[in-house]
Amino acid sequence: MKELLTFLSLCAVLAIANAFTMALAIALLFAALLGAITHPRRTFGLAAALGIMALALKEPFACVGALAAVGAVGIVVGRLGRRSASRLPGPVHLLTHSRGGEKDTTGQN
């Protein structure tokens, strides 16, 4: 009888621990949702970093390949962005002359 009481007590302790674990998981999900709404760049950056760390621990070679692919895409997008930005016309100066004692920055008198 004492063994049965011990077994049931341990089952109750495990059930309470399970309930606390589920409550903590729900609270963390709400915190992640709130973080994604208020600070999306930081939240998704953290999620990406955690995903890369998990991938690095489980499959190191796949992580190296994924990081190389992301780096290559970043380099290509960066170079394309600079090329398209250099094709844009310069700023349009709406003021053609200076007023009062202000310095003329347009190069015109």
Span 99-104, mean pLDDT?
56
pLDDT band with cut points at 50, 70 and 90 for residue 105: low
**Structure token pair of residue 87:** 């094709």
68 close to 61: Cβ distance less than 8 angstroms = no
| Cα 63 to Cα 65: distance, rounded to the nearest angstrom | 5
Name 35's Cβ contacts closer than 8 Å, sequence gap at least 6. Answer: 42, 43
CB 63 within 8 A of CB 55: yes
**Higher per-residue confidence, 105 vs 26:** 26
pLDDT in tens, 9-31: 999 999 999 999 999 999 999 99
**Spatial contact of 35 and 42, defined as CB atoms under 8 Å apart:** yes
Tens of pLDDT, residue by residue over 42-96, are: 888 888 888 888 888 998 888 888 889 988 998 988 888 766 555 666 666 666 6
What's the pLDDT at 16?
97
Which pTM does this prediction carry? 0.47
